[in-house]
Amino acid sequence: MAFGTRTLWSGLDLDIKPGEFFAVLGPNGSGKTSFLKVLLGLLPLTSGTANVAGHPAGSRGRDVGYIPQQKGFAADVSLRARDLVALGVDGHRWGVRLQRRKVDAAVDELLERVGATPYAKVPVGQLSGGELQRLRVAQAIAGDPSVLLCDEPLLALDLNHQQGVSALIDRQREETGAAVVFVTHEINPILDYVDRVLYLAEGQFRVGSPEEVMRTEILSELYGSRVEVSRIHGRIVVVGLPDATTHLHHGHAPSPEEPVEETEGAKR
């Protein structure tokens, strides 16, 4: 896959299984968003093919759920929380629509599933980022999709909301067997759920379990400079050493003391 004259990845051959929680990691500009756009059918591959839910990417509609990055609404927007979720239930239809009572019942069930019932009638412009992401999860799972694509859904959320949204997504995976593809720069809240990691960097990639990929020798090879991975008190800390010249996650070469990435805990 190329973007202009730059190769994002080459020779990537993946089979993501039903019920798998698959995380996509890497620094800014490494191709994480492009990878997701390919699966959504919004960006063609330079070569090769991409199938999602057994069909060409972009062709399966409600078999694929999508959770975007967290974005707010203007304070004066009159759309209520339940109205936003209703767009995921019936907003895709043209012509004859579902009966109002069926839509309302489906929306009520979704709001309850994501813990958003208490603010169902609150205008979306008055909700926090975490509350809005719960609604977007509800939208995405409205049709019980077999594939759930998540584009940095934890961005700009505090730790509590990161954990809550992550747990909602994993619960959907567990209950329905949906495959989850989760693009993120922050693995902490999802590490307990992740089965495999795709790490993109410098036109290269590695695929495997977090334990296999998040290692000193692997990340150092990807970046072409020394990157130290340590495990301290149940956490994985990734640090760029003094000779590291590659721009990592913060857009500059880190100092010896500056953590580039931290990951928690053990896999489920």
Q: What domains can be seen in the chain, in order of their start residue? A: 2-209 (3.40.50.300), 214-268 (no CATH)
H/E element holding 85?
A: helix 81-90
**Amino acid sitting at position 106:** A
Dump pLDDT digits (tens) for 189-230. Answer: 898 899 999 999 999 999 999 999 999 999 999 988 888 888
Strand partners, 52: 55
Cα 3 to Cα 24, 45, 134, 139, distances in angstroms: 18, 10, 33, 31
| Prediction pTM value | 0.84
pLDDT tens by residue, 110-153: 999 999 999 999 999 999 999 999 999 999 999 899 999 999 99
Choose among 172, 175, 162, 161: nearest CA to 139. 172
107 pLDDT more than 80 = yes
Cα 126 to its chain centre, rounded Å, is 24
Tokens of 241: 């050493």
